């Protein structure tokens, strides 16, 4: 996957830091600097998917993401286990997205 030795070493160092950070780095630094950075890093690809290559809002993707967020909110409000709302939101978004996508006529099937 990483043909260059420098790339393999860099990935090893970054993964090692990510695994050791909760025990080595002070929690103030993690909560003040790294957590917002990680939130922005994960929001950027989501915005890229939502806006598309031409910069136009793709409402179907936004709707499916909203369905997943709504399912996660309802699951968290009913006091599910800690990981259940996340998996339930993904499952709900996948089911609704697949159902809507399969029932929509496509221009490539003509």
Q: Would you state the structure tokens that stand for residue 81, as one six-digit string?
A: 């286990």
Same domain, 13 and 48: yes
* pTM of the complete model: 0.47
Same domain, 69 and 98: yes
First to last CA, the chain: 39
Whether the per-residue pLDDT at 11 is higher than 60: the answer is yes
69 within some domain = yes
110 within some domain = no
What's the structural domain count of the chain? 2
- Give the model's confidence band at 19: pLDDT under 50 very low, under 70 low, under 90 confident, else very high: very high
108 within some domain = no
List C-alpha distances in Å: 49 to 15, 18, 56, 59, 60.
26, 26, 10, 11, 11
- The boundaries of the domain holding residue 89 are 58-102
Same domain, 31 and 47: yes
Same domain, 22 and 41: yes
Give the pLDDT confidence score for residue 100 in this predicted structure.
Answer: 78
107 within some domain = no
Same domain, 40 and 71: no
Same domain, 43 and 17: yes
Q: What is the pLDDT of residues 43-70, one digit of tens each?
A: 888 778 777 777 777 777 778 888 888 8
């Amino acid at each position: 996957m990483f043909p260059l030795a420098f790339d393999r070493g860099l990935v090893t160092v970054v993964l090692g830091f990510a695994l050791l950070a909760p025990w080595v780095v002070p929690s103030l630094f993690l909560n003040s600097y790294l957590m917002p950075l990680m939130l922005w890093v994960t929001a950027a690809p989501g915005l890229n998917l939502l806006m598309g290559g031409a910069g136009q809002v793709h409402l179907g993707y936004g709707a499916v993401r909203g369905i997943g967020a709504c399912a996660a909110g309802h699951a968290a409000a009913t006091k599910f286990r800690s990981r259940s709302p996340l998996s339930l939101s993904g499952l709900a978004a996948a089911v609704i997205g697949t159902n809507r996508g399969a029932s929509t006529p496509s221009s490539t099937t003509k």
